[in-house]
Chains A and B, each alone.
Chain A
Amino acid sequence: MTTTGLFLLAILALGFLITFQIAKASEYVSVLKGEKKSFEQNNRINGFLMVVFLVLGLVGVYFCNEALYPKTLMVHPSASDHGENIDTMLKITLLITGIVFFITQILLFWFAYKYQYNDKRRAFYYPHNNKLEVLWTTVPAITLCLLVGFGLYYWFKITGEAPENSMRIEITGRQFNWIYRYPGKDNTFGKKYFRMIDDENGNMLGMLWKDSTMKTPNGVQSLKADPTGYDDIIETTAMYLVKDKPVKLIINSRDVIHDVGLPHFRMKMDAVPGTPTTMWFTPKYTTEEMKKITNNPNFEYEISCDQMCGNSHYSMKGLIKVVTEQEYKFWLAQQKPSYKPAEAAPAASPAPVADTAKTAAAGTPNTVLAAK
């Protein structure tokens, strides 16, 4: 143990010792003073502290809000249309629960102070009152129905079918980064199968780019190549979205459960291996616009993995660029399909490092595109 450690321990022990001695002494004093007297004194102190706690607590709530509210997302408009609904719902809930919070906490600590023990008074024998009990069963029930109503109205709006004209992008999580796939010119995603995944040859998603036969636990399977996948674009640097254009994400995972967390859009959905999920929303501000709104020249829409997925969970970051229609077209024109005909595949392409965390850090999974 280092000296600092010993020193800290010594201080801690000393603090304990002093507190304990004071406590012990106060016990002796109370025996001398008489149990009744010391009880009354203790009771007054604690009763007083109840109301002090209430007042300081309310002041603290105010200052905490002053200091921290500007750091939340709520000070800026939500970056998606669904997010606006969620923000409205949040405000309604905050208002209702806030009223209940202040009333009940004030009553609790105020009653504790006001009705502290007094030798001359007797407590009021008041075992029940049916009217009151019915009142505070029905009022919360009605209020909650209100919240359920609003909540479900927005919930079905958010989880409903995506509009016909939405763009579709597939996002796949793996330990510990994200893979984005665009359907390409034919606007159709090519089929894929997880046993076809071959990181070393640039097939991160297991696209059916060629005919193959393989042994699986279910017997020998023959898989036909799917030509609709030849023009699919597979990307790992950033997901490009278009302002004001609805987007439907098809969410997958390659290994464990991940979660596509989009705090600025107020959206979230798990990525579950074997069970694709979806979510849709409409971005409202481009990344550039958001830089101005948030007054932060380095603003980026980040994708956070929100489901514990392993030891590098905390670094599983994705990026979303919201751009205008024109910028998007320009970007898309630069992208090349990820499909490589078998003969063109460089046989001795450098094998990516096995450790995906490192791969992610270096941003190498683009080797496919770079090689072309």
Chain B
Amino acid sequence: MSHGHAEVLTSHEVHHDEHGAHHHQQSFISKYVFSQDHKIIAKQFLITGMIWAIIGGLMSVLFRLQLGYPDQTFPWLEDILGNWAKGGKITPENYYALVTMHGTILVFFVLTGGLSGTFANFLIPLQVGARDMASPMMNMLSYWFFFGGSIVMLSSLFIQTGPFSGGWTAYPPLSALGDASPGSKTGMDLWITAMAMFVVSSLLGGLNYVSTVLNLRTKGMSMTRLPLTIWALFFTAVLGILSFPVLLSGFILLLFDRHGGTSFYLSDIFIAGKSALPNEGGSAILYQHLFWFLGHPEVYIILLPAMGMASEILSVNSRKPIFGYMAMVGSLFAITILAFLVWAHHMFVTGLNPFLGSVFVLLTLLIAVPSAIKVFNWLTTIWKANIKFTPGMVFALGFVSLFISGGLTGIFLGNSTLDIHLHDTYFVIAHFHIVMGVSAFFGMFAGIYHWFPKMYGRYMNNTLAYIHFWVTLVGAYLIFWPMHYEGLAGMPRRYLDYSNWSSFNQFGDLNKFISTVAIIVFATQLLFVFNFFYSIFKGRKVTTLNPWGATTLEWTTPINPGHGNWDGEIPEVHRWAYDYSKDGHDFIPQTEPIGANESKH
């Protein structure tokens, strides 16, 4: 804790310099634990998210061991995992538990909580020019619900019947019937409880983000002067507010089916070795509608913040305005609207009415239009630029590359005709890991490297950052690119062993290769984590207010801003956030009044 103490002291010094209403001594608990400062809450989300990412990533390493080496035993696994890996082999039950937990953790706890929790909290007040969120108290509760949900989810790993193991989508009847799978016993109750707390956290956060962006902008900060990060985080919050309640309702019905004897999702079920269940008349497909009504917007909840941050970072380090600002905002808006209208493309082969399916094909492929606009605008942004390859910038470029690769395969899967063949194969795994897994992670890394100096007043180590970037980029493609071919062979996802299948056992060597690369990439992420924590305490100190030469408001605050962000008045905004290389200036901050002879954009 000695380092932590040092941090307390330095921040307190800054704190004393601060003017304004927030000048009072705070205890360690109220400053760092139950803090209402949006910056501290952002760091809490970030670090919790990082711990989750390590756990979730480690899970993938464990099940990749099984997939890559299905005929080998690893005695040391038993030392670590005990009964989960009796005799050095992961049992099917625990394999599925690992896969399910990996999905749940990464999608919700890392890429939703960890990503928009961190950057919405950190950036919204700083970039719109507010002292804090509209309701700091709700904001604090949002984190603690997230933390509570995390604890409940984590605890499910340690119960006798194991954590939930029916896939992160938790389709009933499998998820409703403890008799159908041991993971659907207590593990599922804990899973639902944790997810319910997560939804509460997400709503508390989202309402705050929206009201802050709408109401607490500083003087002169019109909506069209907002940096794209804020627009993206704003739309993310809107998506979450409108769709998470639907998910929660789906979970509640599931809970009723599990314990209340209702038949929302259950009908005509006979559990082998037991008996026929009393339920009749329910529809298992109803759950899928409710789930994917969140589940699809969820993809954009993950992706939009990454898009916003990449836009901002590309522009800053290209020393060029983002190309087509209004088109960027418009495409974010279009994605937000369309995100609600495409959910059933996850359900083309559930027996959905083919006509209904065709409507969803049209709407799904439509969403590629705003995505294409964004890609072309990013490309034009770096055209004739003067690019500084900061760690944030390289990750933003990597994000664009991955978004293109993963986005294009979405055009395959969104087309119901092709989805018949590719549904639930490794093609899907490859698609969504590239487009929303790795690329969202790249957006997140870009954001962390870019705003780390603002968060901690220090830099992260550049060399480690570049190693991290290149290994991860190359590794991500080596892992997921070949999976498309497995998908084209019809290889189903969620199998722990393909050796008994004459249709799918030709990929043994490839699976070994993928597993090996996955382990290397995972180890490289640990390097990043180390760099992060080491740099908090020992990184090179930031000596200038605006190390990247950016126009936005967060760089007008002190190097280590206290609660309240600005000493004295909040600055007034006079222009948009993208005046780079204009009229012979390298950049013109948003706070600078428009000059008399300035050219218009």
Contact = CB atoms under 8 A, between A and B. Distances in A.
Nearest to A141: B369
Contacts of B269: 194, 254-256, 273-274
Contact of B285 (A42, A107, A269, A275): A275
B208 interface: no
B382 interface: yes
Contacts of B506: 71
A155 B323 CA distance: 38
A157 to B, nearest CB: 9
Contacts of B462: 23, 26-27, 30, 42
Given A275-B283, A311-B93, A314-B497, A46 B181 contact: no
B236 interface: no
B593 interface: no
Contacts of B494: 308, 313-314
Interface stretch (B220-228, B299-307, B386-394, B558-566): B386-394
Interface string A192-229: 00110101000000100000000011100000000000
Interface stretch (A14-22, A326-334, A340-348): A14-22
A261 B496 CA distance: 17
A57 B405 CA distance: 12
A72 B485 contact: yes
Given A20-B464, A90-B421, A272-B284, A104 B375 contact: yes
B165 interface: yes
B131 interface: no
Given A109-B401, A136-B372, A47 B411 contact: no
B414 to A, nearest CB: 9
Contact of B351 (A43, A125, A269, A310): A269
Report, as a range, how many residues of chain A touch the other chain: 35 or more
A60 B482 CA distance: 10
B389 A310 contact: no
A148 B349 CA distance: 18
B417 A263 contact: no
A299 B467 CA distance: 46
Contact of B368 (A144, A277, A355): A144
Interface stretch (B194-202, B238-246, B248-256, B313-321): B313-321
Interface stretch (A93-101, A182-190, A234-242): A93-101
A270 interface: yes
Nearest to B76: A5
Contact of B373 (A69, A136, A159): A136
B268 interface: yes
Contacts of B358: 152, 155-156
B208 to A, nearest CB: 32
A155 to B, nearest CB: 5
A365 to B, nearest CB: 11
A218 B278 CA distance: 9
Of the listed residues A8, A82, A140, the one surrounded by the most CB atoms of chain B closer than 10 A to its CB is A140
B260 to A, nearest CB: 14
Given A108-B400, A123-B385, A309 B278 contact: no
A158 B165 CA distance: 34
Given A43-B388, A112-B387, A125-B580, A133 B327 contact: yes
Contacts of A263: 421, 489-490, 503
A160 B353 CA distance: 11
Contact of A73 (B324, B490, B497): B490
A79 B412 CA distance: 21
Contacts, number: 399
Nearest to A313: B494
Contacts of B180: 175, 255-256, 310
The size class of the interface chain B forms with chain A is 35 or more
Interface string B251-275: 0000000000000001111111100
B527 interface: yes
A359 to B, nearest CB: 8
Interface string A273-303: 1111110000000000000000010111010
Interface stretch (B13-21, B27-35, B115-123, B470-478): B470-478
A93 B418 contact: yes
Contacts of B401: 105, 108-109
A269 B354 CA distance: 12
Contacts of B411: 93, 96-97, 144, 147
A86 interface: yes
A47 B389 contact: yes
B278 A1 contact: no
B489 A132 contact: no
Contacts of A5: 76, 79
A312 interface: yes
A112 B463 contact: no
B6 interface: no
Contacts of B423: 268, 306
Interface stretch (B56-64, B171-179, B444-452): B171-179
B415 A89 contact: yes
B501 A304 contact: yes
B333 interface: no
Contacts of A22: 463
Interface of A: 1-2, 4-5, 8, 12, 15-16, 19-20, 22-24, 26-27, 30-31, 39, 42-43, 45-47, 49-50, 53, 57, 60-61, 64, 68-69, 71-74, 82-83, 85-86, 89-90, 93, 96-97, 100-101, 104-105, 107-109, 111-112, 115-118, 121-129, 132-133, 136-137, 140-141, 144, 147-148, 150-152, 154-156, 158-160, 174-175, 194-195, 197, 199, 206, 216-218, 251, 254-257, 259, 261, 263-264, 266-270, 272-278, 296, 298-300, 302, 304-315, 317, 354-356
Given A5-B76, A128-B323, A270-B350, 5 more contacts: A123-B386, A128-B325, A147-B411, A158-B420, A216-B278
16 contacts: A4-B76, A16-B526, A27-B462, A42-B389, A68-B510, A93-B412, A97-B412, A111-B382, A111-B383, A137-B373, A151-B365, A174-B272, A302-B501, A306-B425, A308-B96, A314-B494
Interface of B: 75-76, 79-80, 92-93, 96, 165-167, 171-174, 177, 180-182, 266-273, 276, 278, 280-285, 318-327, 349-351, 354, 357-358, 361-362, 365-366, 368-369, 372-373, 375-380, 382-389, 394, 397, 400-401, 404-405, 408-409, 411-412, 415-418, 420-421, 423-425, 461-464, 466-467, 470, 473-474, 477, 481-482, 485, 488-490, 492, 494-498, 500-504, 506-507, 510, 523, 526-527, 530-531, 540, 578, 580-584, 601
Query: What 9 A-B pairs have minimum CB-CB distances, sorted nearest first?
Result: A263-B490, A274-B267, A277-B351, A5-B76, A354-B273, A314-B495, A159-B354, A46-B389, A124-B384
